[in-house]
Amino acid sequence: MATDTKPKRGVGRALLAGVERIHETLDSYGLVPTVTNGIALLFVVWTLFPVYWMVSGSLRTRSDLLATPPKLVSTALTVGNYPELFAQRPAFYEFLFNSVVVTVGSTALAVLLGTAATYGFVNYEFPYDLGRFHLPFLVLTTRFLPPIVTVIPLYVIFDTANLLNTRLGLVLAYAAFNIPFVVWMLKGFFAELPDSIVEAAVLDGHTELGAFFKIVLPMVRPGLIAATIFTVINAWNELLFAVILTSNTEAQTLPVALATFKTAYAIQWELLTVAGTIAMAPVLLFAFLVREKLLRGFTMGAVR
Amino acid sequence: MSHYSETVGGGRYERVLLWVEDHLRWILTLPALAVLAAFFIYPVGRALVLSLYQFDTGGRQFVALENYVAILTAGAFWQSLWITAKFMFFAVSLEVGLGIAIAFVLNSKVRFRGLIQTIGLVPLVISPTVVALLWQLLYQNGGVLDSLVTPLTNGPVPWLSDPSIALYALVLPDVWQMTPLVTLIVLAGLQSVPDHVQEAAMMDGAGRMRRLVDVTLPYIKELVVLVLILRVIGTMRVFAKVFVLTRGGPAKSTEVISMAMYREAFSYGNYGRASTMALLLLLIALAITYAFATVSEVEF
């Protein structure tokens, strides 16, 4: 611990000192719990209100939703907007289907290839120290490369490879973008496994491949689940690649449909809120079910 | 090389298995590397080639370095970089500042902390496209935000149609979505400070302020650098929010770099120019990466 008595200078420290003074003042009036709980409540309302507004909007009539001043709570709820969206824009069935296919396909591919590569580089020796060179490369690629950099040449490449406007094209592109992410989430898990595990399994009569599937994979299951969760969310939400590499209902996903929903006249908010809710609902439900893992995933790499 | 070469012999199946075992390291790693090469290295190489051509209705024409000269000497590229930098500055400082502040608040004795953390996940898992729509609805003329600010502004605010406001109207949804990321990461760091360390410092007679600086701060310093990096990178690639809310307008006031490249390629069909911009952006991204990698010890 530092021995000098004066705190060092710096913006951060000055800020902390300011916060500390406010804290002491509040403390002397016994107001600390009131203020902290108040701020927490404000944070909750600020975070949830926009979501509430869209979901409740999907259950209102247009005039009710766009009333001035806004009606925070509606008394005339209706589910009629939901069938209306699909009646007016039947393509939404296809957008939904494309989104599901692309998400599932790219997640499976990314997790499979990413897991195998991470295990390979962590556990085997390579000539010329390839492992040392490739693992950081695998990890760094997407974390720093802005996707717009690759998507423009990729459009030209897809054009010649007949991959434009196909679900397969999106599956491959999303898998490519998520592999480094999977590696980033998994490498800690694999590095923590003792080296002797595979050797012991081999002595027990497993093949090396068998040991990988039967012994190693179950041991890194938490990492696999976390990587899968994040890949699913990334793929379901992606817009840039989808909007550039697809052009009609053959392969367009929900985010593309949402981003190009506006007609030449006006936004049909009563229907757009339905579409938005449909795009949000699966990830929100999914996130709620795996919230512990998600929380750990977001803060992982940070705290471990 | 494998231990099996000697122990397993015989049939066809065994021979295949043997081959797999012997080449396992390559079988495991090469597919991923091949995909990455096809989707990262090859496109960058292709961009290098494309950047030497001019595209127009007649096809493409070799122009050597003309695209580079044109982009670097015209104002539009620098303008979009400047807009991106402004977006980055306001979004990142608000997200990191607010995020840390809220983390400290939640780390004190707050009720329902677990529930609040779960709620913090909500914006993070929603598609940026949907986030943009959430805010577009709030920005409606006479809508929720207008009615909130009416006492101050005497009337509706042209959030997305005034060139002097629109960029800030894009910052707000990003702050809404990403502040919880900072909060969750920093809060996890704060909660990893062991109680006994705090208590020991207290026994030593360290005041709250000293404990904060000498005990707590070292635990979160690295995390603050990490979220800073994550958000700098994240805001540099902002696209969906701009695409949905303003398409770079009004009067190009929100034309961030990715929007400018999108327009160059897909509105004007000039893949050469767009590829040139892509490569210049790649250089900038590499420079930022290098800068962060040298000043921080955060591992990615």
For residue A6, being part of any structural domain is answered with no
Same domain, A30 and A67: yes
Residue of chain A with shortest Cα separation from B297: A302
CB contacts, 8 Å: A183 with chain B: 32
Please, how many CA atoms are within 13 Å of residue A29, restricted to the half-sphere of its CB? 8
Closest partner residue to B213 among A7, A53, A258, by Cβ? A7
Residue of chain A with shortest Cα separation from B104: A36
For residue A4, being part of any structural domain is answered with no
- Identify the CA nearest to B277 among candidates B121, B71, B123: B71
What's the gap in Å between the CA of B161 and the closest CA on chain A?
15
Type and span of the H or E element at B167:
helix B166-191
Same domain, A197 and A54: no
Same domain, A58 and A144: no
Contact A302 B143 (CB under 8 A): no
Least confident of A139-143, A229-233, B172-176: A139-143
Give average pLDDT by consecutive 10-residue segment, chain B, 300 residues: 50 84 88 92 94 86 91 93 97 96 90 93 96 95 89 87 95 97 93 81 74 78 87 93 94 95 92 94 88 70
Interface test with B, best of A115, A149, A236, A238 (most B CBs within 10 A): A149
Encoded tokens for B297: 């010890």
Beta-carbon contacts of B157 under 8 Å, excluding residues fewer than 6 positions away, are: B145, B146, B149, B165
Q: Does A43 touch chain B (CB under 8 A)?
A: yes
Encoded tokens for B50: 């494309």
Neighbours of B260 (CB within 10 A): 24
For residue A178, being part of any structural domain is answered with yes
For residue A3, being part of any structural domain is answered with no
For residue A188, which phi and psi values (nearest 5 degrees)?
Answer: -65, -40
For residue A94, being part of any structural domain is answered with yes
Encoded tokens for A140: 């760094």
CB contacts, 8 Å: B94 with chain A: none
Of A140 and B118, more confident: B118
CB contacts, 8 Å: B101 with chain A: 19
Q: List, in order of start, the domains of chain B with CATH numbers.
A: 4-50 (no CATH), 75-295 (1.10.3720.10)
The CA distance from A242 to A263, in Å, is 20
What is the C-alpha R_g of chain A? 25
What is the average pLDDT value for chain A, to the nearest integer? 87
Please, how many CA atoms are within 13 Å of residue A41, restricted to the half-sphere of its CB? 7
Looking at residue A241, what is its pLDDT?
96
Helix axes B75-107, B271-295, angle to 10 degrees: 40
Beta-carbon contacts of B106 under 8 Å, excluding residues fewer than 6 positions away, are: A40, A43, B113, B116, B117, B183, B187
Same domain, A66 and A213: no
Contact B46 A138 (CB under 8 A): no
Length of chain A: 304
Residues of A (93-112) whose Cβ lies below 8 Å from B: none
Same domain, A98 and A62: no
Contact indicator for A26, B219 with CB cutoff of 8 Å: no
Same domain, A44 and A159: no
Contact indicator for A31, A39 with CB cutoff of 8 Å: no
Looking at residue B60, what is its pLDDT?
85
State the residue for tokens 């929720």. Answer: B144
Compute CA distances B144 → A142, B137, B150, B172, whole Å.
Answer: 37, 8, 10, 14
Of A16 and A242, more confident: A242
- Cα torsion B45, A232, A300, A35 to 10°: value is 120
Same domain, A95 and A68: no
- Identify the CA nearest to A47 among candidates B171, B178, B89: B178
* CATH number of the domain to which A224 belongs: 1.10.3720.10
For residue A108, being part of any structural domain is answered with yes
For residue A1, being part of any structural domain is answered with no
Of A73 and A158, more confident: A158
pLDDT over 90 at A285, yes or no = yes
Contacts A–B by Cβ distance under 8 A: 310
Same domain, A162 and A288: yes
Q: Letter for the amino acid at A6?
A: K
Residue of chain B with shortest Cα separation from A18: B209
CB contacts, 8 Å: A137 with chain B: 36
Q: Letter for the amino acid at A59?
A: L
Domain count, chain A: 2
Contact B47 A152 (CB under 8 A): yes
Same domain, A72 and A93: no
Encode pLDDT of A199-228 as tens digits: 888 888 888 888 888 888 999 998 899 899
Encoded tokens for A169: 């094209």
Residues of A (239-298) whose Cβ lies below 8 Å from B: 239-240, 243-244, 255, 258-259, 267, 269, 272-273, 276, 279-280, 283-284, 286-288, 291, 294-295, 298
Quote the ipTM score: 0.89
- Identify the CA nearest to A237 among candidates B215, B126, B110: B126
Domain that holds residue A222: 85-299
Out of A26, A53, A78, a domain closes at: A78
For residue A58, being part of any structural domain is answered with yes
Looking at residue A6, what is its pLDDT?
47
Residue of chain B with shortest Cα separation from A235: B127
Same domain, A91 and A26: no
Same domain, A118 and A199: yes
Same domain, A40 and A115: no
Mean pLDDT on A106-121: 94
Encoded tokens for B84: 């991106």
Contact A16 B209 (CB under 8 A): yes
Query: What is the distance between the terminal CA atoms of chain A, rounded to a whole angstrom?
Result: 23
Mean pLDDT on A122-129: 78
What's the gap in Å between the CA of B4 and the closest CA on chain A?
8
